[in-house]
Structure 1
Amino acid sequence: MISINHAVKRYGKHEVVSNVSVVIKPGTLTTLIGANGAGKSTLLSLAGRLLDGEGEFLLEGKDIASFKGSELARQLAMLRQSNHLAVRLTVAELVGFGRFPYSRTRLNAQDKQIVEQALLSMDLVHLADKYLDELSGGERQRACIAMVIAQDTKYLLLDEPLNNLDMAHSVHIMKLLRSLVDDRGKTVILVLHDINFASCYSDSIIAMKDGRLIVHAPTERVITTESLQEIYGMHIPVSEYEGRRYCHYHF
């Protein structure tokens, strides 16, 4: 379980996260939604200890600040929104870094098998020996996701994992994340801009606006025309098909 109590993040006098408290249940997929500048990525980075802020951040009841780096890296993996790397690595080398908390730089047979599985899960086996600067933006994004998966932690925090991805790969990754929750008991928290992906794959949704928490509730309570009006300031009709709700915001 991840507990965030009275989270605040300021840049100068400007609060980008304002007194937000949420509890993420284990074994669930939770999505953060909201307009640009709502504070979603900042809240996720606070929870992942990538940023310092005010408030209490607990991982399974323990202050996240009290974890040693290597200990935390075995519990929690995070995909940043921007993954620009200055060093020249192959795809396989990058994904292998996901095993660093366990084997440092000396991968054993089990590590190599996990890396292979991660490459396979992201359809990257044929690109394993390619350098990252030879790839498209979508291929690099999939490589970064594979690295997070190879880290094999209980908690995965993903900031806009569908960036640069085409429709087929976006659906594949959402299905994979859903299976990590349902079949392997992982806890996944992600930031998404596509509210239809959030609607179809999430157990619960955290909606933010101007740094404030608007609602944290089961998906069906958030994906309503009334709630979306408050979150985005626009009228978004919602329909239902085969038990899933779809948001019609294209008109």
Structure 2
Amino acid sequence: MLVLKDLSIYRGKFCVLEGANLSLQKGKVYALLGANGAGKSSLMKAIFGEIKHKGEISFAGETLNFLQQYTWRKSIGYMPQDNNVDVSLSVLEVVLLGLMDSLGVYIEDEKVRLAAKIMQELGIIHLAQRDIMDCSGGQRQMVMFAQVLVKNPKLLLLDEPVSALDMRYQCILLNYVRKYTIKKDLITLMILHDISLAVQFADELIVLSDSKIAAKGSARCVLTQELIEKVYKVLANIFYDDRNFPVVVAKEAI
């Protein structure tokens, strides 16, 4: 379980998040929503131990301590927004960097097979020998996702993991996230801007607004016209598709 108790995050004197309390369960995918600047990435960085916070963050019974960041991060797979690789390596080599903590001079065949298996499942095995510098932005995003998975994390933190992907690869990646989360019984928290993708692939939504957690729960419970207006400053209609998923259609900004 990932637990946040009275969590507050400041950037200088500006309060990004104030007094947040959350409990996230294993085996579930959570989508973090909110307008630009709502504090989504800051929250994710705080959980990873990258920026300081007030309050308490605990995972699997351990509390985040900045003196023990290395140990804390061992079980976390974190994919930030900015994942550029400015070095000439093959795609397979970049994926294997996810095992940096356990790599030696000689890379065991088992680790190479694990990396290849994940790349195969993500549909990027054909890129294995390509120079990462020659890959498109979307291809790099898939490669960095494979790098995160190869370390076998217990907690997945994905900051806009599909921002550079076309519709097909959005479905491939997010379907994999959902299945992987269930199979490994881990916790996945991902930031998405596309509400329709959040509705389809997340078990619960967490919405940030005005430095607070404005809502948390299933899409049907959370997504209302009032919430969309408050959080996104947009008038919208909400319909339901053939799977009974809510579909948000923006009408105009207010």
TM-score calculated relative to the size of structure 2: 0.91
Q: Write the mapping of 1:159-238 to structure 2, written as runs, cut at 5 A.
A: 159-238=159-238
In 2: Cα distance, 1:77 partner to 1:104 partner: 20
SS at match of 1:237: strand
Structure-2 separation of matches of 1:127 and 1:38: 36
| 2:176 aligned counterpart, secondary structure | helix
The structural deviation recorded for 1:207 is 0.3
Which residue is equivalent to 1:76? 76
Aligned to 1:248, the other structure's residue is in SS state: strand
CA deviation string 1:54-97 (max 9, x = no partner): 22110112112278455434411100110123332221111001
- Match for residue 246 of structure 1? 247
* CA distances 1:154-204 after superposition (whole Å, capped 9, x unpaired): 111000001211111111111111111223322111000000011111111
- Residue 147 of structure 1: how far off its partner (Å): 0.4
The amino acid across from 1:185 in the alignment is: D
8 Å Cα contact 1:74/1:152 also seen in 2 = no
Q: Secondary structure at the match of 1:235?
A: strand
The one-letter amino acid paired with 2:134 is E
Report the residue type matching 1:56 in the other structure.
Answer: E
* Partners of 1:196 and 1:211 in 2: CA distance: 23
Moved more, 25-34 or 78-87: 78-87
Q: Which residue is equivalent to 2:3?
A: 3
Q: Aligned partners of 1:115, 1:70: CA distance in 2, in Å?
A: 23
**1:219 to partner: Cα distance:** 2.5
Q: Which runs of 5+ in 1 are unaligned?
A: none
- Contact 1:229–1:235 at 8 Å: present in 2 too? yes
Distance 1:127 1:169 in 2: 15
SS of residue paired to 1:18: strand
Q: Distance in 2 between the 1:157 and 1:30 partners?
A: 10
In the alignment, structure 2 segments of 5+ residues that lack a partner are none
Cα distance in 2 for partners of 1:157, 1:184 equals 15
RMSD value, Cα: 1.9
Q: What is the CA–CA distance in structure 1 between the aligned matches of 2:179 and 2:251, rounded to whole Å?
A: 29
CA 1:105/1:115 → structure 2, altered by over 3 Å: closer, same or farther?
farther
2:135 is aligned to 135
Identity of aligned residues (%): 24
SS of alignment partner, residue 250 of structure 2: coil
SS in 1 for 2:145: helix
1:49-64 correspondence runs (5 A): 49-64=49-64
Looking at structure 1, the residues matched to 216 and 139 of structure 2 have their Cα atoms a distance apart, in angstroms, of 33
- The one-character-per-residue Cα deviations of 1:98-137 (angstroms, maximum 9, x if unpaired) are 1223445643222112100121122221111112211111
SS in 2 for 1:5: strand
Q: Which residue of 2 aligns with 1:93?
A: 93
Distance 1:29 1:196 in 2: 15
Q: Match of 2:19, SS?
A: strand
Q: CA deviation at 1:17?
A: 1.9
* Residue identity matched to 2:127: L
Is the 8 Å Cα contact of residues 7 and 54 (structure 2) preserved in structure 1?
Answer: yes
Q: Which amino acid aligns with 2:158?
A: L
Q: TM-score, normalised by structure 1?
A: 0.93
Write out per-residue CA displacement over residues 5-51 of structure 1, whole angstroms, 9 at most, x where no aligned residue. Answer: 12222222111222222111111000100100000110011011122
Give the deviation of 1:225 after TM superposition: 2.1
Equivalents in 2 of 1:178, 1:93: separation in Å?
A: 26
Contact kept in structure 2, 1:37 and 1:211, CA below 8 Å: no
